[in-house]
Amino acid sequence: MTNYSKINFRSFVENNLEEKGYKIVLVTEKLMQKRVDDFMNFVNGIRREYGTEYQWHEEPKEYFLNGLVDKWKYSFAIFNSHDEICFLNFSSVYGNLIHYHFAYTRSDSRGFNLSKLHTIYLCQVCLENGFSKYEAYWPKNNNRSIILYLKMGWEIQNIRNNKDLYMTARIDKVRNQTYDLVLREMK
């Protein structure tokens, strides 16, 4: 049985990303203001890609600049060596839990474990700050993401408006299961 208390999860993620030519960065308000157009193009490009399938719409600049509770502490991006956004997640605090707003991976960066490595990192940050639970909504027909997040330890609680799955998770369970998934895939 793995003793997860002895693992430096941040270093594990940073080193794995660096080996692949990526880096994980906290999305701060300053970074968002500086690169808001890049973030908008990234997110809205993916929303256009899946707009019909998931009934997604593009987001205005205000969406990216909004000051959700502690959004600037729990949102991360992964950049490649050309400083291009390859993965982005927004999370914020809702009461005593972390609300996972979205996670998107650029089409040419899918399949490189960016989502899993990000998840490990975000989980560690959340645990270090005293949070133990996540919540999120997924389009119920987003099968690839749902299967991935179920493998990482999330659980389906119910369906909202017959279109979105409401999912929750214990953050330590997600971190540990995702770490184990990444290790198995590295073999």
Task: Give how many domains the chain has, as a whole number.
Answer: 1
Query: Which residues fall within 8 angstroms of residue 154, CB to CB, at 6 or more apart?
Result: 134, 136, 167, 168, 169, 174
Per cent of the chain over pLDDT 90 is 92
Q: Round to whole Å and give the CA distance between 26 and 43.
A: 17
Asked whether residue 11 is assigned to any structural domain, the reply reads yes
Per cent of the chain over pLDDT 70 is 100
Asked whether residue 1 is assigned to any structural domain, the reply reads no
Asked whether residue 10 is assigned to any structural domain, the reply reads yes
Encode pLDDT of 84-125 as tens digits.
Answer: 999 999 999 999 999 999 999 999 998 899 999 999 999 999
| pTM recorded for the entire structure | 0.95
The helix/strand/coil state of 109 is helix
Residue 160's CATH number: 3.40.630.30
Q: Round to whole Å and give the CA distance between 3 and 6.
A: 6
Task: Say how many residues make up the chain.
Answer: 187
Asked whether residue 19 is assigned to any structural domain, the reply reads yes
Q: Residue 105's domain spans which residues?
A: 6-186
**Average pLDDT along the chain:** 96
Asked whether residue 181 is assigned to any structural domain, the reply reads yes
Query: Which residues fall within 8 angstroms of residue 25, CB to CB, at 6 or more apart?
Result: 31, 76, 77, 78, 79
Inter-axis angle of helices 9-19 and 114-128, nearest 10:
160
